[in-house]
Amino acid sequence: MTDRLLAQLDFLRELDKAKNVLRQSHVTGTDRREDDAQHQWHVAVMALLLAEHAAEPVDVGRVVAMLLLHDVVEIDAGDVFVYDEAAQAGKRAAEERAADRLYGLLPPDQGAWARELWEEYEAKATPEARFAASIDRLQPLLQNLMTGGLGWRRNGVAADRVLRLNSSMEQGAPALWEHARALLEQAVDDGVLPRE
C-alpha cells in the first residue's frame, strides 16, 4: 500500500467516530438522539434536492462536500449545542485544533482541500457556504418539528431564540427561511414550541 492510501484509510477510520457524536436533535419516531453521521447524510441529501432554492446559483457538489466534511471537527471538539451561549465561547479554538489534526490525517492535497471547505463554510462568504449553512440550520429545525419539539422542550428553548438563530437561513435560502418561519409560527400556535 502507498503512503497516500494509508493516510486516506486512516482518515476514513477516524471518520467512523462521527457515529458516536450525539446531537440534541432526535431521530423521528424515537427517543434516540441523532448522531453526526446521520446529520451529515441528511443535510447532504437535502442540499441535492433543495439546491434550486438557494439565494444564488451554487455548485451543488461543493455544497454537498462542505456539508459532509464541515462537522468532522466534532469528532474531537464535540457537538456544541447551538443554543448554549456559554459553550459557544471556546468552540472556534477547539474546532481549529480538531481541523488541524483530522484534516491533517489526509494526504496534503486532500487535507488542504478539506480544510479549505471547512474554512469556507465557517466564513459564510460564498453562495455555497451560505446555502450549506442554511441547510445546516433547516435540518435540525425540521427534526425538532417532526419530533414534536422534543429537543427544544428538553433544553428549555423558546420561540424567540429559535426564530433569532435560524433567521440567518434567509441569507442562503430565502424561500426555505420563509417556509421554515411559517412552520415555526404554526408550532408556536400548536404549543409545540413555547413562547417563553
CATH (domain of 161): 1.10.3210.10
Each residue's pLDDT tens digit, 128-140? 999 999 999 999 9
Instruction: Report how many domains make up the chain.
Output: 1
Cell numbers of 59, please?
A: 455548485
pLDDT score, position 46: 98
Asked if residue 113 belongs to a domain, the reply is yes
pTM: 0.95
CA dist 165 and 18 (Å) reads: 24
Q: Which domain holds residue 53?
A: 3-189
pLDDT score, position 175: 98
For 82, which DSSP code?
T
Cβ contacts of 87 within 8 Å, gap of 6 or more: 80, 81
Radius of gyration of the chain measured on its C-alpha atoms: 17
